[in-house]
Amino acid sequence: MKKPKKLVIGWRETVSLPDLDLTGFQAKIDTGARTTALHATNIRKLEINGRLWVEFLPDHQVLEGSDLCAAPVLHKRCITNTSGTPEERFIITSHIHLGARQARIEISLTDRTDMIFPIIVGRTGLRQLRMIVDPVRSWLQSEKPHGLSERDLK
């Protein structure tokens, strides 16, 4: 089967994570990050049918009104955060939709309260989506989220 052509995206796009019922929210495309990272607080471990799951709140200001999410844990991994500090994170998987493409990607869960974007899409996810980034453009493959002020766009 022939791979689809690489698609050019901007450094900001709108994404959905339908497996987590999170739709149409802002994402930062971060080629400096290997793994995609999603904002999560109140992370709680559960065991369901002998398998480890996590419940969490994606309660970032951009995701206001989002309900409790739950997903099976793929594994835990040490990831270096934006401050350069290693932290152990739960890794889950979810489908991601960006423009007309979708893929199942690994996502680390971390508190991104102080960050503008509730999710960063890292290199591994971009590779699976077959996308490359134009670092000076935004929303090339998705609609700009409603209600953004000029301040939000900088």
Q: Token digits for 111?
A: 């508190």
Q: Which of 122, 87, 117 is nearest to 107 (CA)?
A: 122
Q: Which of 41, 32, 9 is nearest to 113 (CA)?
A: 41
**Eight-state DSSP code of residue 112:** -
The CB-side HSE value for 125 (13 A sphere, CA atoms) comes to 34
pTM of the model: 0.91
Largest CA distance in the chain: 49
pLDDT of res. 148: 60
pLDDT of res. 82: 81
By the 8 A CB rule, do 107 and 18 touch?
A: no
pLDDT of res. 65: 67
User: Hey, CA dihedral for 153, 41, 104, 127, is it positive or negative?
Assistant: positive
Query: For residue 49, how many other CB atoms are within 10 A of its CB?
Result: 6
By the 8 A CB rule, do 145 and 24 touch?
A: yes
Q: What is the pLDDT of residues 115-147, one digit of tens each?
A: 999 999 999 999 999 999 999 999 999 888 766
Q: What is the mean pLDDT of the chain?
A: 91
Across the 154 residues of the chain, what is the mean pLDDT of every consecutive 10-residue run? 88 96 94 96 95 94 82 96 91 97 98 94 97 96 72 50
Domains parsed from the chain with CATH numbers: 7-134 (2.40.70.10)
